[in-house]
């Protein structure tokens, strides 16, 4: 996997949102859900409508089986909960108002068939929007996960919680992953709502 960067600038995040909003509500939802939850792109693409909605209301959490805890882990089939904040719920409501879905439909359904969009398509969506927004650096689907962690850390979420989400073994590993140098002075805001 190629190394990618988080999007550190809020103005750039908002610019990408505007570009994706003009393009497709599905693509905007992919971006917003990714940067607000830190869910891996492979897990995002496998989500179904029933994972985010009970048919009447949007759920508070998405539950995903976490199979990547490592071979030495006792909890190799642990279920992780990912909180759906107001930004995500707003985009989900818009998306649901524009389409008729059944509970077994994929959330990020391809326009060509009943399958989810591919990782390559998700990459093209994120990468081209970032380029159009004038963002320098390496941007890919993994950027969503890194952007979530970077902003969560900057807004005061404990590094131990972020480590747990990423299944990292040390805070140094997580800080390196987020592109934060050890000893780098960080101004912390306690408010995560991208």
Q: Is 176 a catalytic residue?
A: no
Q: Is 142 a catalytic residue?
A: yes
- Among candidate residues 15, 17, 151, 168, the one labeled active-site is 168
Q: Is 151 a catalytic residue?
A: no
Q: Is 99 a catalytic residue?
A: no
- Among candidate residues 15, 17, 145, 154, the one labeled active-site is 145
What is residue 38's DSSP assignment? -
Residue-wise DSSP of 51-75:
HHB-SSSB-SEEEEEE--S-TT-S-
- Among candidate residues 11, 74, 112, 185, the one labeled active-site is 74
Q: Is 145 a catalytic residue?
A: yes
Whole-angstrom Cα distance, residue 12 to residue 124? 17
State residue 53 phi and psi, 5-degree precision. Answer: -140, 145
- Among candidate residues 17, 142, 146, 154, the one labeled active-site is 142
- Among candidate residues 15, 17, 26, 40, the one labeled active-site is 40
Q: Is 40 a catalytic residue?
A: yes
Whole-angstrom Cα distance, residue 24 to residue 75? 38
Q: What residues are annotated to the active site?
A: 40, 74, 142, 145, 168, 177
């Amino acid at each position: 996997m190629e190394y990618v960067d988080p999007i550190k600038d809020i103005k750039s995040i908002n610019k990408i949102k505007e570009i994706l909003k003009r393009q497709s509500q599905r693509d905007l939802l992919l971006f917003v859900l990714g940067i607000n939850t830190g869910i891996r792109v492979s897990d995002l693409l496998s989500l179904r409508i029933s994972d985010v909605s009970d048919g009447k209301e949007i759920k508070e959490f998405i539950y995903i089986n976490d199979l990547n805890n490592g071979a030495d882990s006792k909890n190799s089939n642990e279920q992780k909960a990912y909180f759906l904040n107001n930004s995500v719920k707003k985009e989900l409501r818009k998306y649901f108002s524009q389409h008729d879905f059944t509970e077994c439909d994929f959330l990020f359904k391809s326009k060509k068939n009943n399958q989810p969009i591919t990782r390559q398509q998700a990459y093209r969506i994120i990468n081209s929007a970032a380029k159009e927004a004038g963002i320098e650096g390496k941007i890919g689907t993994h950027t969503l996960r890194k952007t979530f962690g970077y902003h969560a850390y900057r807004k005061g979420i404990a590094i131990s919680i972020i480590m747990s989400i990423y299944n990292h073994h040390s805070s140094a590993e997580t800080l390196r992953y987020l592109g934060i140098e050890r000893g780098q002075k960080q101004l912390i805001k306690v408010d995560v709502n991208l």
